[in-house]
Copies of this chain bind each other. A is one copy, B any other.
Amino acid sequence: MGFDALIKNRRSVRKFTDKQVDIEIVKELIRQSTFAPSAGNEQPWKFIVVNDKSMIQKISDESKKNILARVEANPDDYAKKYRGMLRKETFNVFYNAPCLVMILGEAGLKNLLVDCALAASYFMMAAAARGLGTCWVNLGTQIHDPAMKKALGIPDDCDIVAPIILGYPEKIPPVPGRKEPDMLKIIQ
């Protein structure tokens, strides 16, 4: 698949078949994602793989609870638009995906967000190149319960940057329109 086809196949996927993802494939995608560049070649990314639907369900419940509490405390919170959805008991923030990969790193590192986003981008394209679907689920970053953090191996000094769901897509959604690039200036 050429690059132009690849970027059109890398779609945010929210409907997956029941097929599990082989753990060796997940590890290979993670290995490929570490070929991303990073500031000063520091490679600050760390990874957690949850290849188990019941654990993913628990993380979804924890995330929903924490985001709803935040929205109730601050009605101007950016997540307030998700309130109705988050209140539905059947709503799983990870769309019942069979696998969840979290990219995280030491909180406070100057380039952590950018470096983890670059690795995430590689991960999502590597998955698309193999016919797998992904979606970066920002709602999945809010894990506060100490017992759950321990079960997941999240160190106290780390922030989750990119929770990415992974699975075999029921179908590849069509490419939604892209705005024309906003070119502020061309100097030549």
Main secondary structure on A side of the interface with B: mixed
> Which of chain B's residues have a CB closer than 8 A to the CB of A175?
35
User: Is A86 part of the binding interface, using a Cβ–Cβ cutoff of 8 Å?
Assistant: no
> Which of chain B's residues have a CB closer than 8 A to the CB of A118?
117, 120-121
| Chain copies in the assembled complex | 2
Decide if A179 touches B34 in the complex (CB within 8 Å): yes
Count of chain A residues with a beta carbon within 8 Å of a chain B beta carbon: 66
User: Is A126 part of the binding interface, using a Cβ–Cβ cutoff of 8 Å?
Assistant: yes
**A residues adjacent to B (C-beta < 8 A):** 1-4, 6-8, 10, 12, 23, 27, 30-37, 39, 41, 43, 45-52, 55, 78, 104, 110-111, 113-114, 117-118, 120-122, 124-126, 129, 136, 138, 151-155, 161, 175-176, 178-179, 181-188
